[in-house]
Structure 1
């Protein structure tokens, strides 16, 4: 389920059910939406974030990243 600000000023909140919990991982996962995904990813990498090795499907609109504490999140291309 995704809760969206109808005026598109605030963030979207996404909720996803999981069958299992990954050990040593937070159960909270943020998706950051950006009109310029490449620039946002580069900005975050410069701040100390790392790319997370993920197997992307063709046409994926997101990039998996990992913060310095090991929390995963995605930067999604806003269309």
Structure 2
């Protein structure tokens, strides 16, 4: 595999991991988190839902755990790198 592609993969994984970690941290501190779908093309109300910790605790924690899990997976991907099967 080309080392430049592996480096690019790791940089993208680090960037997405930082984005997810910051989103999870701000959601924890502010006690509200936005729905994970940040699709620019979807202008429906479903893509802009905000879950508050006090009013919707189950959805809030599911979203927070999913976002933090995404950050951890990106961290693992940045450490391990791209390992294609032969």
User: Normalization by structure 2: what TM-score?
Assistant: 0.23
Higher strand proportion = 1
Larger-gyration structure (1/2): 2
User: Normalization by structure 1: what TM-score?
Assistant: 0.24
- Which has the higher relative contact order, 1 or 2, with Cα contacts under 8 A spaced 6 or more apart? 2
